[in-house]
Amino acid sequence: MFGAWTAYQLHRAGATVILIDQYGPGNVRASSGGDTRIMRMGYGPDEVYTRSAQRSIEHWVKLYETSEQQLFHRTGVLWLARDDHDYCRQTLTTLEKTGGCFEKLTRAELEAAYPQIEFGPITWGIVEPESGVLMARRAVRHLVELATSKGVSFLADSVQSPQKDAALNSVATVGGKQIKAGTFVFACGPWLPKIFPDVLGDLIHVTRQEVFFFGASPGDQRFSPPAMPVWIDFNDLVYAIPDVEGRGFKIAIDAHGEEFDPDCGDRTGTTKGLEAARQYLSLRIPSLTAAPVLESQVCQYENTCNGDFLIDLHPSFANVWLVGGGSGHGFKHGPAVGEYVAKMIAGEREPESRFTLAAKVKTNSRQVY
């Protein structure tokens, strides 16, 4: 998604662009693969990401208007909070400061609105009514189709790691092509540390993340919109997406998994992962504890030290940009990231210090969720 939006925004800015993807747009191995991603505005104290999400949803709505397919379901997003949860309190402050659309709910209001959820230690919540679910794979494919219809070239091939030099004149592909350009953007998600191991091998970590889809009983609409929104419990590092388009109720543990190879890693769900998902369901959605698994998926996070994006020039190339570090939360920001990269390349804005390579360290301490 970072690469597709960057190509689209660069073309809109007047550049001649070729977009290269080794497995094709929206492929299952990409971090932007899969069916659904969350569109939310709240980010604790991180105003930079709240404003980025607010800017991005404007582009998402415009993209939706160009498609005959459903790209966005406005299900709302529910934050589950505890009395001592600073991240949720900081989210309220940031949303107020940025003019975000939200409502704070008491425990009694939560129970009245969502009786299918067992709230346990949850004492209050935040609802973002304008947020919801992005159809990920579908959106990537549509954006690439739209970009190519407007003049962006697309090539299905794999780029080899460039040799060190002051400037890069061309890249070679596995298919035997030489691609010449004045500027190169590597927005390769989990492949970034493979292509640039000397620079990013210790700074970006790719982890295995399991997702499970559960089926409700026949006729039970409590876990589909509008009865059920997206909801997030960052205290327990869990998120859930309601049953949209008949795919089932999606739940995932947001804690970082083990190191993972995006090319050849096993994408079969494990018994351990399923047990963890069912254990959480037994606490929060008891009626789905024994529900059948309709599908399991394995995707990957691409983590920087704290969850911040990486958008910066390569230290050894004057014309090579590194764009990544989506870290499990980046999909929604694709439009704003593409816009940011285009302006940086054109010299039309100052860099965000948190996105620079200099801000990345080897010690992992997650701060952005």
- Please give the single-letter amino acid code of residue 99: G
**For the chain, how many structural domains are there in total?**
1
Given a contact cutoff of 8 angstroms between Cβ atoms, the answer to whether 307 and 329 are in contact is yes
Q: Is residue 191 part of a domain?
A: yes
pLDDT (average), residues 209-235: 97
Q: Binning pLDDT at 50, 70 and 90, where does residue 99 land?
A: very high
pLDDT score of 365: 85
Q: Is residue 366 part of a domain?
A: no
Find the domain containing 97 and state its range: 2-359
Name the pTM for this structure: 0.96
- How far is the CA of 66 from the CAs of 7, 129, 134, 189, in angstroms? 17, 23, 15, 26
Average pLDDT of the residues of the chain: 96
Q: Is residue 230 part of a domain?
A: yes
- Please give the single-letter amino acid code of residue 1: M
Query: For helices 136-149 and 2-12, what crossing angle results, to 10°?
Result: 30
Q: Is residue 121 part of a domain?
A: yes
Tokens coding 285: 């959605």
DSSP secondary structure letter of residue 259:
B
Residue 221 has pLDDT above 80, yes or no: yes
Determine how β-strand 184-186 pairs with β-strand 320-324: parallel
Q: How far apart are the first and last CA of the chain?
A: 18
pLDDT in tens, 149-163: 999 999 999 999 988
pLDDT in tens, 256-303: 999 999 999 999 999 999 999 999 999 999 999 999 999 999 999 999
285: CATH: 3.30.9.10
pLDDT in tens, 20-69: 999 999 999 999 988 999 999 999 999 999 999 999 999 999 999 999 99
Q: Is residue 365 part of a domain?
A: no
Residue 364 has pLDDT above 90, yes or no: no
Q: Is residue 231 part of a domain?
A: yes
